[in-house]
Amino acid sequence: MIARGERKLSLKGDVIIVEDDDLLCNLMIEILSDIGVGCIAFGTADDALIYLLQSHRACTMVIADHSVPWQISGSDLAKMVKEKWPDIAVILTSGHELNASKLPPKVWFLQKPWAVDSLVSTVDGLLNPSS
């Protein structure tokens, strides 16, 4: 497991964060920036999906809160991402327990409140599976 600031990840794209809690969103951006991850944040899954469909920038991971507001939930976004872009790693977060059998295939679940080390090790493990 890597500690904050101990190791930098080199990625070929950004991590998209979908979180409607500004404090938590900013915390994730700070944590991931500390390990060298570029982040783009959205308050709704709808906005994140539009960005993914229209952007020509590479995306390596999506971290989405299960219950963000608007029309598309974080779970819906996770499913759409895995169907259209199967190589993009996806982490779904929630303050509620989610049934693992209801998660889209190859989507990781991170229970809130998560520890900083849990977020970092999950991101690192998905983006660097051989390390």
Q: What is the DSSP string of 56-119?
A: -S-EEEEEEETT-SSSS-HHHHHHHHHHH-TTSEEEEEESS---GGGSPTTEEEEESSPPHHHH
In this prediction, residue 5 carries a pLDDT of: 45
In this prediction, residue 4 carries a pLDDT of: 44
Give residue-wise pLDDT tens across range 46-71: 999 999 999 888 899 999 999 898 89
- Fill in the DSSP letter of residue 16: E
Q: Which of 21-25, 37-41, 43-47, 96-100 has the lowest mean pLDDT?
A: 96-100
12: three-class secondary structure by DSSP? coil
Position with higher pLDDT, 22 vs 103: 22
Cα 43 from Cα 28, distance rounded (Å): 13
Structure-derived torsion over alpha carbons of residues 8, 34, 125, 1, reported in degrees to the nearest 10: 90
Average pLDDT estimate for 84-101? 90
Indicate the domain borders of the chain: 14-115
CATH 1.10.10.10 describes domain 14-115: no
